[in-house]
Amino acid sequence: MDTTIHLLEKGNNLIYIKREDLIPFCFGGNKVRKAYLFFNEIDTGGYDSVVTYGSSSSNHSRIVANMAFKRNLDCYIITPKENFHKTYNTKLIEKYNAKLVIATLEDIGSEIEKKLKELKLEGKNPYFIQGGGHGNLGTEAYVQCFSEILNFEKKEKIDFDYIFLASGTGTTQAGLVCGKLLNKSTKKIVGISIARNISRGREVILESIKDYLNSKGILFENSLIEDSVIFIDKYIAGGYGKYNQDIIETIDQNLKKYGVPFDLTYTGKAYTGMKKYIEENQIFGKKILFIHTGGTPLFFDFLNI
């Protein structure tokens, strides 16, 4: 895949950006990198339908819906009733003819089971993808991304001290950390939480890392794994989808100065958090890589606020 890395900001530190938003499928983003691996399995496994979980405005839902449509597979998205509002992602999901199954948050698990059972009774062979592309394949996608970063460094003779990213389900961060461990890298990988508190956020990332390494039969000292997970929940601005004036200004500035679109839920929130973290921890003279994890349709929602 090898997405572009370029310099964004020259100040107290050099801030580079890796443009996962430019992955050439359906407005890109980390959900595409993950979905390619899931759909590889679908293509080779004789599946005829896809079931996943995601909100009606999620990037994951959009990508899965498009990939399913392209293959002429039925796509069912179990969607929480809470926070249901129409966004550009919702409109795209409808264009791809995905079927939204709306359920309350507490019924999501049973609705997924019900849909899978129903399809099997009809003689179908459905494939299930966890919300956000969580799971070992999603982790693998970002182990691969970490290798791309190392290749870039070798080619450009540069060494990033830090990698920052928006952390949601934590799969992207888990993949990058696995890449770091497997390559014995000393980079600090900092996940800026966009919703979860530190205890839940860390727990899920650690689980994903251990799951992935176990599946490969590779062992690392627990303390090494623990030390490699930096998850910051200071900048969540009130929770998922919530935002503040700082985030709005960061997005505005990045758009005008650099021509790069960010959004309120993920990249804008994470970039704002990163800048605060750099300041609060007095980080100077470092080379920093920010991963632009995508979400371009959410940028257009931002223009509507």
Nearer to ligand PLP, 119 or 189 (CB): 189
The mark string for 131-170 relative to ligand PLP (x by CB under 6 A, - otherwise) is -x---------------------------------xxxxx
User: For residue 167, what is the DSSP state?
Assistant: E
Nearest to 194 by CA among 59, 297, 91: 59
Nearer to ligand PLP, 119 or 143 (CB): 143
Candidate list 266, 271, 277, 290; residue touching ligand PLP; CB under 6 A: 266
**Amino acid letter, 33:** R
The reply to whether 208 sits near ligand PLP by the rule CB under 6 A is: no
* Number of neighbouring beta carbons within 10 Å of residue 144: 16
CB of 269 to ligand PLP, least distance (A): 9
Complex with ligand PLP: residue 31 or 187, whichever CB lies closer: 31
CA dihedral 170, 81, 59, 187 (to 10 degrees): -10
- Of the pair 87, 267, the CB lying nearest ligand PLP is at 267
SS3 state of residue 27: coil
**Cα pseudo-dihedral 104, 108, 114, 120, rounded to 10:** 140
- Environment class of residue 121 by beta-carbon count within 10 Å: exposed (0-12), middle (13-18) or buried (19+)? exposed
For ligand PLP, the closer CB: 34 or 115: 34
Closest CA relative to residue 171, chosen from 208, 219, 216, 196: 208
Q: Which stretch binds ligand PLP (CB under 6 A): 73-81, 83-91, 249-257, 293-301?
A: 293-301
- Under rule CB under 6 A, which residues in 15-74 are in contact with ligand PLP? 29-31, 59
Q: Where are the beta strands (DSSP E) in 68-170?
A: 74-80, 99-103, 126-129, 162-167
Tell me the closest approach of the beta carbon of residue 276 to ligand PLP, in angstroms: 18
Nearest CB to ligand PLP, comparing residues 172 and 254:
172
- By the criterion CB under 6 A, which residues form the site for ligand PLP? 29-31, 59, 132, 166-173, 266-267, 293-295
